[in-house]
Amino acid sequence: MKLEPLTERHAALTFHCWQDERLYAFIPFDRPVNLGTLEKQYRELSTRRSPDGGEEWLNWFLKKKVDGDYVGLVQATIRDSSAYLAYFTFAAHWRSGFAHEGCSAVAEFLFRRRQVKEIVADIDARNFASQRLIEKLGFRQRRFTANVAVIRGVVSDEFRYVLSPADWQQVVMTGLGSARS
């Protein structure tokens, strides 16, 4: 698997991947309605900075080396000394290890190259697969917040998970954070 920095050209390459409604079960936004909308979003994200300059936006597509298929996206938003992690695996590639591999590589990058003090992930309380993934990477649950949003007509609760450099080092030492071949 390869991490490929997001650019505007990815809109045409991945638009079809974002059309599967299953991707939006636990997130409070809708699928892109047309290619132009996605191109605009990617153009903004590819600046790698928020308009006010207070956040660094890092976004990578996960791409299989073997056939070049795009399998997902990993996002890191750096604010002060914290990074906020989000990730998507396209439905056709669920439970294939790509999210683990991508998030692991991004965590390594954030701690070693950006020297962040923590990585934070907010996970919908109903998303058990995502909770298992993030816990496998060494994140620890720090907070529960009820009634965060209404997603698809259902009230959503949320867990906040945090990964410290020490917890990440422990994961690396045990081999659980290593990328698959």
pLDDT for 29-68, tens place per residue? Answer: 889 999 999 999 999 999 999 999 999 999 999 999 999 9
Q: Say what the pLDDT of residue 29 is.
A: 83
Is the Cβ–Cβ distance between 126 and 164 less than 8 Å?
no
pLDDT for 75-116, tens place per residue? Answer: 999 999 999 999 999 988 988 999 999 999 999 999 999 999
This prediction has a pTM of 0.90
Structural domains in the chain plus CATH codes:
2-174 (3.40.630.30)
Q: Which residue carries 């991707």 as its tokens?
A: 23
